[in-house]
Amino acid sequence: MDFSSLHQALTTAFSLGMVVLLSPEVFILALVMAAHKSRARLNSIVFFLGSSIGLFFAIGIGLWITPNPTPGVDHPSWIHFAVRASIGTALLWVGIYRTWQFLTGKDDRKPKHDSSPTGLKAKFLAFFPSLNTNSEPPIGIHYISSTFLIGLFTTGLHPKTSILAITVGHQITRASGNLAKVSAFAIFSFLSLLPAIVPLLLAIFRPEAGPAIKQKCSDFLEKNGRWIAALICFAFAFVLWKDALTSLPR
């Protein structure tokens, strides 16, 4: 067993999974689903399914774009350089964006809807009715599909989280041994989906606790989540660019 490959795969999966876990917008939107006054369970289940499929799709992209390595051999090539440099640059962008959010105090959470929405806000809530926790529109294809899309694009296909999932897929392909590959996939998937799993469990077992927990978690993540995520992204951007330069043909 290649313990160095196992350690690298698990470290990458755990660290980048923590970045997704510490992203306030993912957890807050999941808690919004769980805080609906009458459809918390339905919203949370559909949101979780959308999040899972989106995340697995993004990991699959990372698996697909990474050439299968030859055991014990890592020849320099433009393909290896391009893949690692692209992912490293994307992680650097995420780190810079998170740093900017932390330093400027920008809040990209969904605003509270204390009053009746009007204009574009009303149209937005009409298209995504599950975000309006006090409404009770009819349950149909539009309601289910729009809630599914929120989970799909928030957790899996959002630019900030999809970059991390693609990076893990890239690392899974490079890892040697099934244990390293499966463990990395399981750890990253669990941590990334935890923001959707916890609200789902709340909606099933303690739906009345959703609003209060939403506020507490929101405050904590807004205060600490972004600078931690930025540090992790910068670290892995450095590692991937170092690997990219090593893979650059001379």
Does a structural domain hold residue 86? no
Q: Domain range holding 49?
A: 3-65+119-222
- Say what the pLDDT of residue 48 is: 92
Reading the block at residue 208, the tokens are 């009345």
Does a structural domain hold residue 228? no
Does a structural domain hold residue 157? yes
- Say what the pLDDT of residue 64 is: 87
Report angle CA 34, 159, 79 to the nearest 5 degrees.
Answer: 140
Does a structural domain hold residue 132? yes
Q: What tens-digit pLDDT sequence spans the chain (250 residues)?
A: 456 677 778 888 888 888 788 777 777 788 788 777 778 888 889 999 999 999 999 999 888 887 766 554 455 566 667 777 777 787 788 778 878 877 776 555 444 444 555 566 666 667 777 776 667 777 888 888 988 988 888 887 777 788 888 888 888 888 888 888 899 999 999 998 988 888 888 888 876 665 666 666 666 666 666 777 777 778 777 776 777 777 666 6
Report angle CA 33, 35, 41 to the nearest 5 degrees.
Answer: 60
Q: How many structural domains comprise the chain? A: 1
Query: What is the model's pTM?
Result: 0.68
